[in-house]
Amino acid sequence: MGVYSLLLFTSTSVFILLVCSVDLRHVHTWVFTVQMLWQTFWHLLIQYREYYLHEPVSIRLFVAVSSLMLLTQRITSLSMDLQEKRVVLTFKASSKRKACVMLLPLISYILNFTTLLGGPLCSYRHFVSLMAGISLHAPPNPLGVVLLKLMQIIMLECVKFYVVYLLKHSYYDSYSSIYGVLWVWGLALVFRIQYYSHWRISECLNNAAGFGFWEKEPEDSPDGCKLSDGDYCTIEASSRMSEFARRWNATTASWLRRLIYIRCKRFPLFMTFSFSLWWHGCHLGHFVGMWTWAATVKADYHIHRYLHPKLSSTQSKIYSCLGWINTQMIVACIVIAIELRDMSGLRLLSITYIGLFPLLNIMLLFILLKLNKV
């Protein structure tokens, strides 16, 4: 990251100062506000240089801001633990040396490089228990798990290469309804595979360092799979938008649920996705993608509640198949809007019929809401 690593060191230093100086009952509010303002400043600076000055942005800055987003997850998760007294810190040390030693676990957790480069989010208590007991209960040999995941990464990259090859060597015709829909779906699949590969690489890094094996918890299997952002087969098999939302980037979804959804008394779903677009950087595509995601998840709740009790077993299977197709098409629209970020993604969706899928779901939502009122 070069000089941009100061972004992370600044956040860590400010967090430690707040923990030491602010009442722990209010520390989360302070930490959340300061950290999100700091992150937003850098997101807006990138947009200013990209869209207004039309200057190339250093890849080092992109990497630093990406890590800063993961740092925000970790810092706010820890501040919630402190506020809810899940983690207890005592600063009544008899010397400065002892006080510094008490802060070392916090700094070690926040700047843990294996999860800072690509996630996933791990709780402070899990991290400390692993570090404290690693000399007594060494983690199992990670070679087998790491090799298996590396093979999965190679497979994913081969699939991505083949799909990209097909997209490049296929004549794109937006006026051909089926072909245009399949082409956009294939492009969205490439973007999703990039995420799956990235998550698997991050898991390999963590497992190779002996991290992610929760042997102390009987309900968890010590196979190195618990520190994970999701299994790509399970995610892609989702037949409902609400299922996909819970499974996609699982540790981030759990963090958003705890940070916003549970704490928000009014419009929790809308507020959760609105915060998510703020956290991601507030590009135009983020607004369209995240709010479309929120609306279609809400529509999924109402449609499923209305239709599912009325279906027979055979009809339920047909409903699940159609639901899977519907989910794939909506997810494709969301991914294209979010990943392309600007008007190019929205323009691509507007000239193909795939954009009708989220619109039809939102229309069904309004119809069912009207019927409920009646």
Q: What Å distances lie between residue 165 and 172, 191, 275, 310, CA to CA?
A: 13, 14, 36, 44
Alpha carbons 273 and 329: distance in angstroms, whole number: 19
Catalytic residues: 249, 280
Give yes or no for a contact between 245 and 293, defined as CB atoms under 8 angstroms apart: yes
Phi, psi of 53 (to 5 degrees): -85, -15
Residue 129 identity (one-letter amino acid): S
Cα angle, residue 364 at apex, residues 362 and 370 outer, rounded to 5°: 110
Q: In the numeric block, which tokens belong to residue 117?
A: 């480069």
First vs last C-alpha separation in the chain: 58
Q: Give every CB contact of residue 132 below 8 A, 6+ residues apart in sequence.
A: none
What's the CA angle centered on 122, arms 120 and 127, to 5 degrees? 135
Q: SS3 letters for 54-75?
A: CCCCCHHHHHHHHHHHHHHHHH
Kindly state the DSSP code that residue 141 receives in the 8-state scheme.
P
Secondary structure letter of residue 258 according to DSSP: I
Spatial separation of the C-alpha atoms in residues 197 and 221, rounded to whole Å? 23
Q: Tell me: cis bond preceding 120? Omega within 30 of 0 counts.
A: yes
- Quickly tell me which residue has 């990259």 as its tokens: 157
Contact indicator for 296, 329 with CB cutoff of 8 Å = no
Query: Which DSSP category does 118 fall into?
Result: T
Closest to 331 in 3D by CA, of 187, 215, 152: 187
